[in-house]
Structure 1
Amino acid sequence: RELEKQRDAKTLAKPGKPWTVKTWLTHWVETIAPLAVNENTMVGYGVAVRKHLIPALGAHRLDKLRPEHIERFYGNMQADGRKAGTIHQIHRTFRAALNEAVRRGHLGRNPVQLAKAPRLREEEVEPYTVEEVQRLLRTADDRRNSAR
């Protein structure tokens, strides 16, 4: 009955050696992700995976990873002075990697989707005044290719 419950909840582990977060992320970033995204995105994925995710969460079994582990990791990053934007970029990378694990049946549910990332604070942007724009355009008129 327990196995049937796990099967119905899609949390039943596949037979064989279970994936760890490290082995899955390494496989994903080296094999799967490059097929779907451009080079610049891959650079960001590589940094997030190798510098942040694997050292902090790599030892966990993929099927045993919980949102609380991820939220603790985010809290530690904040305590170390990381900006919320950096944490959100890591969060998006991790979510994409584990969404693929769910899609392939290695994971029943994506714990990153349940984890709360730190709130991003939007900074108020001060627009240029009309006088500032006019001064900028006058300055640009003195240059070759001012229209550009």
Structure 2
Amino acid sequence: MGTTGEMARPAQVDRTLAAAPQSVAYARALIDTVEPALPPDVRQRARLLMSEVVTNAVRHGAGTAVRVQIRRERGRLVVEVRDDGEGFEPDPSRPDPTQGSGWGVHLVATLAQEWGVDADGGTRVWFALDVADEELHAVALQHHRPGGLSAAV
């Protein structure tokens, strides 16, 4: 438990944001609010992918709101972003370097262990990052002792 005055981190987050550019930074920061705290590598990838997916929802969704859901589930971090626009399914295999588009979904497809998209009543993009192995590695590093001995956890 934290000290007096600290807010407890939730196990899951569910927020509806305006479909506006300033919502991207807010959504990215929501990654840091999920408990238990994420290992640094997972946190960095989750923040990058959240930025890309929310940017796409704001830029291409043509809606007024973006719903962001984040949860820990069976050793994974699962993030869902849904816009309230008309919906479309992006093609992750064809980023267009001349247009500067298509890279967000390509990054999700490359960096996430699982991901998906559906376009029924808006576009919903979700991705999952494995956390369990990263957490075990982080715990092992924290308990490593000089001389090559590790403390039992």
The question of a shared fold, defined as TM-score above 0.5 by the shorter chain, is answered with no
Q: Which has the higher helix share?
A: 1
TM-score (structure 1 length as normaliser)? 0.34
Q: Which has the higher contact order (CA 8 A, sep 6+)?
A: 1
Q: Which is greater in Rg? A: 1
